[in-house]
Amino acid sequence: MKTKKYFNIFRWLAIAALICTVIIIVVMLAESAMPGDKSLEHSEKWTDGFQEYAGDRFDQTFVGTEPVREVHVTALHGYTGTRTKAKFSCTPSDARPTEFVYSVGNASVAEVDENGYVTFKKAGQTKLTVTVKDDPDVSASEYIYNFGTHPDNITYAEPLFTTVKEGQIRTGFYLKDQDGNLVNSSAFDIKKDNDCARLDGVYLSGMKAGKCSVTFSPKKHSDISFTYDFEVIPDPALVRATGVKLKTNELTVNKLQKFDVSKYVEKVYPENANKYCFVGSVHNPQGLQVLTSENGQIKTAAREGTATVTVYDNLTYQAKAELIVHVVVPTPQKLSVTGKRQAQLNYNYQYKAEGDYCEIENVAWSVVDGNAEISETGKLTNAHLGKVTIRATLKSDPSVYTDFTVDVKLYTSFSAFIRKTLGHFALFAIIGFGLAATFMFLIKPRLASVPVAIVSSFAFSLLSETLQLPIFTTGRMFAWSDVFVDFFGAVIGMAAAYLVTAIILLCFRLSKRRTELMTAFNSVKAKTVFKKAPLFGGDIQGS
C-alpha cells in the first residue's frame, strides 16, 4: 500500500497548489481593479510601519533648493489608543530637504514623538504644532480632536451633566463609558424629542427653557442606546438678540483667502442683548463652490465668483444679516509651479500654477525640454526616464512664465518600491510558483507544463494591468513596464518551483523506495487528481 499512500500525498499537494493559486490570482485581480486611491492607501499602511521603524524624520520628499516659507497643518481626529502620522504641507511644495519639530499643547490628550506620530491618550482637544527645525519662525498649529473611547468598544455611556441655562453655551460636555473613560458626543448618533437643547461636540447649548429626552447610540452600533432627560433652566435675565448690523454688507477677497465672518459684526440689537458667537451659512451659486466653510465662523475663498453668507447668532438664530462676498483673482507679477519634483515612470502627475496670491488657472502649459506630454490643465503624461522641463505661461501676458524641472524615476518613494516589489513582483512570483506546481502535477508529459505555465503567467500579468484601465477602475493606468515586472516575478516563481521539483526528484532517486515514489508521482495527473487512488501492481492488500 506504500505506492497508494504516496499517491494520495501527491494528489493532495496538487489540489492544495491549485486551490491556493486560484485564491491568490483572485486576490491579485481584485487588487488590480481597486480604485487607485484605495490601493495607495493600503500600500501606505504597509509602509508606514517600515518608515517609522527606520526613524523617518523627513515628512516631505523635497528635492528643491528653496527653504520652507510656510507650514500648513491639517486637523487630526481620532479615538483613545489610536495612532496616526501628523499631516501637513509646505510652501513651496518643492522645498529643499527639511527636518521638522513636533509638539502638542496638552500631552494628557495626545502626545507626539520626534517622527511626527501622534498617539491619542484621552478625550479632549489640544493643538499640534509643526516647526521647521532650522527656522523656528516658520511654524503652524492645528487642533487634535480626541473623541475618547472608540464607538465599537462602548457598552455603556452616561453624560457628565444634563442641565444648562437658557441662553448658555456650556463647554466640557462628555460622556463616561463603562470603564469611566471620557467619550466625546461625536462618537454617538444623537436623537432628541425637541430642540430646547443643542449638542455639538463638547458644547451643550440652552436654546429655550424646557425639557427634552436625548438618546445616544454608538455609531455603527444602533442596537445599543442610552436615553437621558436634559433640562434647560429658564433665565429671566436673558435678553435675546433680535437683529444684527454688519460693518459692511459687501466684501471683496482674494482667491484662497480665509476670513472670519464674526469679525464683521458691528452691532447687535437690542443693545443689552446677550452676546453670542456669530457664524455664517454659505449660499453658493448653483454648481459653483465659491466659498467653503472651515468651521462655522471661518470661510475660505475657493474660486472666483460671488456668494452670499447669512451671518447669524449661534444660539437663537433670530439675529441675521447677509454678507455678499466677491472672490477675485489678482493679476500675478510672477508665476510658480507646484507639484512633484520626482515623478514615477508610467504615472500621471497633476501640476498647478500659482501667482503672487493663489492658484492661477489662466495659464498655458508646455514641455520645453525632455520627452513627455502635458495637457492644457497641467497633467504630465507619457514621460520617459530622465529630466523633463515644463513651462507655465500666463495667457493674458506671455512675458510672465516659469519653468519647472521634473525628474522621472522608476520609483519615487519607499511606498512605491514596496507596492511594486511586494504588491506585484513578489505576489506574481507566488502565482508563478503555484501555476508551475499545479500544471506540473496535472499535465503529462511534465515538461509540457513549462510553456503552459509561461503563457498562463503572461496572460494573468496582462489581465492584471488591463483591469487598471479607466473603463474598469479609477485612478489607475495600464503600463507595459508593469506587465513585464509582474511577468518577470512569475518567471522567478516558476524557476523556483522547477528547482524545488528537481531537488525532490533527486531525493526520490536516492531513496530506497524510489520505485514507489516515482510511480506515485507519475500517476498524478488531471484525470486522477480528483479521483481515488488507482490500484498499483506492487501493492499488497492488507500490508
| pLDDT tens column, 231-265 | 999 999 999 899 999 999 999 998 888 899 999 99
The last residue of one of the domains, among 393, 409, 425, is 409
Count of domains in the chain?
5
The last residue of one of the domains, among 409, 434, 467, is 409
- The mean of the pLDDT values for the chain is 83
Where are the extended beta strands (E) located within 345-385? Answer: 349-350, 352-354, 359-360, 363-369, 373-374, 379-381
Q: Is the per-residue pLDDT at 411 higher than 80?
A: no
Residue-level pLDDT at 60: 44
Residue-level pLDDT at 38: 61
Return the percentage of the chain with pLDDT > 70, whole number.
85
Are 158 and 141 in a shared domain?
Answer: no
Instruction: Answer whether residue 77 is part of any domain.
Output: yes
Residue-level pLDDT at 39: 58
Instruction: Answer whether residue 482 is part of any domain.
Output: yes
> Residues of 172-200 as b/e, b for ≥16 C-beta within 10 angstroms?
ebbbbbeeebbbbbbbbeeeeeeebbbbe
Residue-level pLDDT at 422: 61
Residue with cell 458644547: 203
Q: Is the per-residue pLDDT at 2 higher than 80?
A: no
Are 485 and 452 in a shared domain?
Answer: yes
Are 402 and 421 in a shared domain?
Answer: no
Cell of 297: 465662523
Most confident of 211-220, 456-465, 480-489: 211-220
Higher pLDDT pick, 467 / 289: 289
Lowest mean pLDDT among 58-62, 89-93, 127-131, 305-309: 58-62
Q: What is the mean pLDDT of residues 455-484?
A: 78
Residue-level pLDDT at 94: 65
Q: Is the per-residue pLDDT at 230 higher than 90?
A: yes
Instruction: Answer whether residue 278 is part of any domain.
Output: yes
Are 136 and 173 in a shared domain?
Answer: no
Helix H or strand E encompassing 10: helix 2-32
Q: What is the mean pLDDT of residues 327-334?
A: 83
Most confident of 86-90, 298-302, 340-344, 519-523: 298-302
Higher pLDDT pick, 470 / 537: 470
Q: What is the rounded distance in angstroms from the CA atom of residue 441 to the CA atom of residue 480?
A: 31
Are 395 and 443 in a shared domain?
Answer: no
Cα 527 from chain centre: 49
Q: What angle do CA 31, 85, 338 make, to 5 degrees?
A: 80
Q: Is the per-residue pLDDT at 190 higher than 80?
A: yes
Q: What is the mean pLDDT of residues 435-440?
A: 84
Instruction: Answer whether residue 387 is part of any domain.
Output: yes
pLDDT tens digits, 382-405: 778 888 999 999 888 898 899 988
Lowest mean pLDDT among 20-34, 67-81, 175-189, 294-308: 20-34
Instruction: Answer whether residue 483 is part of any domain.
Output: yes
Closest CA to 85 of 540, 473, 415, 525: 415
Instruction: Answer whether residue 474 is part of any domain.
Output: yes
Report H helices in 336-479. 414-420, 427-442, 449-466
Q: Is the per-residue pLDDT at 337 higher than 70?
A: yes
Instruction: Answer whether residue 498 is part of any domain.
Output: yes
8-state DSSP, 51: H
The model carries a pTM of: 0.53
Q: Rounded to the nearest 5°, which phi and psi values hold at 108?
A: -75, -25
Residue-level pLDDT at 290: 94
CATH number of the domain that 70 lies in? 2.60.40.1080
Are 399 and 343 in a shared domain?
Answer: yes
The last residue of one of the domains, among 112, 146, 180, is 146
pLDDT tens digits, 419-433: 666 667 778 888 888
pLDDT bin (cut points 50, 70, 90) of residue 51 is low
Q: Is the per-residue pLDDT at 57 higher than 50?
A: no
Assign 426 to helix, strand or coil: helix
Residue 340, domain extent: 336-409
Instruction: Answer whether residue 396 is part of any domain.
Output: yes
Are 344 and 367 in a shared domain?
Answer: yes
Residue-level pLDDT at 323: 96
Are 90 and 38 in a shared domain?
Answer: no
Are the beta carbons of 111 and 81 closer than 8 angstroms? no
Residue-level pLDDT at 42: 57
Q: What is the mean pLDDT of residues 356-367?
A: 81
Are 318 and 344 in a shared domain?
Answer: no
Are 210 and 158 in a shared domain?
Answer: yes
Are 457 and 488 in a shared domain?
Answer: yes
Are 518 and 428 in a shared domain?
Answer: yes
Residue-level pLDDT at 25: 81
